[in-house]
Amino acid sequence: MNMIYAALLLHSAKKEINEENLKKIAKAIEENVDEAQIKALVAALEGVNIDEAIRGANFPVATSVTATQTAEEKKEEKKEEETEKKAEEAAAALSSLFG
């Protein structure tokens, strides 16, 4: 997984994703990575448009955060409706006393 992050780091730095650069990152983070893994990653990413892959990625964390926010908003709306309903009932009770 660290090598995937390394590839993303290289991509964001606008550096070429190749064996040499990945080995430098692995050495810098003191990661023992088999050369076959690095070669396989470079081969797998060959011809892949990383920007498009990121845009098309499905991020369940963001979706669950949005769902949580929506649920909280619904709760707030329900509380507001209940408060309004109680206020209307109180106004009706007052108007029947004085009306």
- What is the number of alpha carbons within 13 Å of residue 32 lying toward its C-beta? 0
Domains, in order of start, for the chain: 2-98 (1.10.10.1410)
Instruction: Give me the pLDDT at residue 6, please.
Output: 92
Quick one: how far is CA 8 from the chain centroid?
A: 16
- In sequence order, which ranges of the chain are alpha helices (DSSP H)? 2-12, 19-28, 35-45, 50-56, 60-98
Mean pLDDT by 10 residues, the chain (99 residues): 90 94 93 91 93 80 65 85 84 72
- Give the whole-angstrom CA distance, residue 81 versus residue 59: 33
46 token code pair:
């060959």
Closest-CA residue to 44 (of 23, 69, 82, 18): 18
How far out from the chain centre does Cα 33 lie?
28
pTM higher than the cut 0.75: no
63's tokens = 């979706």
Please give the pLDDT value at position 17: 95
